[in-house]
Amino acid sequence: MHINFVCNRVWFLLGGIVLVLVLAVGATSFAAEIDGLYTAEVTVAGKSGEDREAASTRALAAVVVKVTGSREVLEAPALKEAFERPSAYLQQYRYGTTMQPDAAGVMAPVPTLAVTFDQKAVNALLERASLPIWSRVRPAVLVWLAVEMSGQRTLLGPEDPGGLMEVARQIADERGVPLIVPLLDLEDRANLNVTDVWGGFASFIDRASARYGPEAVLVGRVAASASGAFSGRWRLRIDGAPIVWESTGVSTAAVVSEGIQGAADRLGLRFANAGGAPSRVHLQVRNIETLEDYARTSSYLEALDVVEELAVTAAKAATVSYELRVRGGRTALAQVIGLGRTLVQVLRDATLSTYTLNAR
């Protein structure tokens, strides 16, 4: 890209495990820029060309899911040829090892292949297929996790001996969703206890979450069936519109994994921008008082990965007008800017959006 200078209470109680990811859109919320969206590490059988190609296909699939925000896109016919020839999109790879449990449950080293794909080539593939592309600026997710074991309910924090928080972290990392684990320090415990999370008491959850700047609400519950399987029910609220779904698994870890996967799918559906031709967007930014303010604003807009071109069309007093070429158009640009704190939207009409530059 280049710059061209032209002049309440939640509704359920159930035994098992409750997972709450709280996110609430607003000026106090924040997002994170995700690195490594085009890199995936997968297990590999060996170092032959055939083994590497097979692993690269799985790595490309993982990257496509991470970039689009959807697991369903893997079934798109337009991607079939790409999965048959992943090396056409490959930029670099390296071999490594990771520790995984073997059949007996004993941790053992397993060979891996970390593959980085060319961002422009992957994006072009997705655009040709009219598939969504999720910006690397993504809403951060705060996780409250309460678990019941042997009749004892516990609120989990950074140190989780059962490993469920690590499961949540791993899946979120694989999906490119920034995860925040609560500190569970004196302030958290003064505002929230396990009963509040277990009962889904929204007012207490919101109060405890405010310090982390969350952006949506997901409440999940998991219970064991008579057969020993586990089932979960999840409720995600984005902009006040709740989405409910269920998940099943053979363990609490499997249900938590699917809960995070489901949340990532729904966040991707909300924030990823459909593929297609970019369009021109006009906006103006107020409160640009100095050259430093101007440089900060222009650099910020230039760095947004939905922006392909940026031109300054006018500068008058403390207001600078821009014309941008944006993948996904005005809606995509507003969503990405809205996740950050640099610019705050103050006006929007049919042809022009107006923002103000926040003080540092």
What does the radius of gyration of the chain's CA atoms come to, in whole angstroms?
22
Same domain, yes or no, for 73 and 161?
no
Same domain, yes or no, for 113 and 87?
yes
Residue at which a domain ends, from 99, 128, 157:
128
- Cα 73 to Cα 84, 133, 152, 201, 325: the distances in Å are 16, 11, 41, 36, 26
Question: CA 141, 114, 49 angle in degrees (round to 5)?
Answer: 150
Same domain, yes or no, for 194 and 156?
yes
Q: Which two tokens stand for residue 232?
A: 């979960």
- Which residues pair with residue 246 across a beta bridge? 233
In a domain, 152, yes or no: yes
pLDDT band at 230 (very low <50, low <70, confident <90, very high): confident
Distance CA 298, CA 72 (A): 36
Range of the domain at 299: 279-357
CA 3 to chain CA centroid, Å, is 28
Over residues 300-309, the pLDDT tens digits come to 999 888 898 9
Same domain, yes or no, for 142 and 257?
yes
Domain count for the chain, please give it.
3
Mean pLDDT of the chain: 85
Whole-structure pTM value: 0.82
Same domain, yes or no, for 124 and 245?
no
Q: Is the pLDDT of residue 7 over 70?
A: no
The pLDDT value given to residue 12: 35
In a domain, 1, yes or no: no
In a domain, 2, yes or no: no
CA 111 to chain CA centroid, Å, is 27
Distance CA 274, CA 68 (A): 9
Ranked by mean pLDDT, which of 144-148, 201-205, 265-269 comes out on top?
A: 265-269
Same domain, yes or no, for 143 and 12?
yes
Higher pLDDT, 66 or 214: 66
Same domain, yes or no, for 21 and 166?
yes
The pLDDT value given to residue 30: 58
